[in-house]
Amino acid sequence: MFEGFELERIELEAATLRVRHGGAGPPVLLLHGHPRTHATWVHVAPLLAQHHTVVCPDLRGFGESSKPADADDHTGSSKRAKAVDCVQLMHRLGHARFAVVGHDRGSYVALRAALDHPEAISRLAVLDGVPISEALARCNDTFATRWWHWFFYAQPDKPERAILADPDAWYGGSPMYMGQEAFADFRGAIHDPATVHAMVEDYRAGLGVDRAHDEADRRQGRRVACPTLCLWAKQDDLEDLYGDVLGVWAPWTSDLQGGSLDCGHHMAEERPAELAARLLEFLRS
């Protein structure tokens, strides 16, 4: 996987991240979603690396990165804490300012990085997600039916027991799009009890501390200062849930563009060439 990329484990102040990085040019950080690892970018990263320095970590708690200590308020799994990891990681690699792309749960970390560290983020791309507080404010029976896992994962103990009883059945997935090596990396993650617990903790943080951070930003009128690209999968739920996806993002941004890709949720695996082309166009605009 990731021919020409270097694989490292980089120790930060509060986490140790497994990271692949390669290429040359303006830096871009790629953040995966649940339940993936950095290997979800296996087809996209080499395309971007023809023009950019590309950094792909396992987020704190995911894959082979370190797991945060449990806390009653789940702050170790907050998107604010993970955004700090990202900025520290990029600084360790020599990048004071960089673009960030986040998919799914990674989009929340990317948004938090742009809001909390505007001096570090040059461009923001969010893939298949809306801000957590916006999703919860719009929660109705359709959302609760389709995204019931948000609320199930908030329960103590039971989600981990259910997932680990048969992780392959719970999460599905196949090597058809990912390739054998990336799929093996994904399976290693979902079969590890510590990783499953930390991934679920990410959701527990979402319903509490992350939502509180979002709502504080809204009250203060904070917006993303840099250009923002929003892409969503036409075969996933965002259009059905929200209709005007860009309209949901508009109050959070000052310079917004975007649209849909005709694919399912894991767009980096299903439409890597199209996604890379859209990202490259945005990054050089």
DSSP state of 270: H
Report phi then psi at 118, rounded to 5: -60, -25
* Residue 225 near residue 79, CB atoms below 8 Å: no
Closest CA to 57 of 2, 122, 129, 119: 2
Kindly state the tokens that stand for 257: 């563009």
Identify whether 104 is a catalytic site residue: yes
Identify whether 265 is a catalytic site residue: yes
CA distances from 178 to 158, 246, 247, 254 (A): 29, 29, 32, 35
Residue 37: count other Cβ atoms within 10 Å of its Cβ.
24
Residue with tokens 């890379």: 276
16 SS3 class:
strand
CA 283 to chain centre: 18
Closest CA to 228 of 77, 80, 125, 110: 125
* Residue 197 near residue 189, CB atoms below 8 Å: no
* Residue 80 near residue 116, CB atoms below 8 Å: yes
Q: Which of 85, 104, 128, 214 is catalytic?
A: 104
Residues noted as catalytic: 104, 265
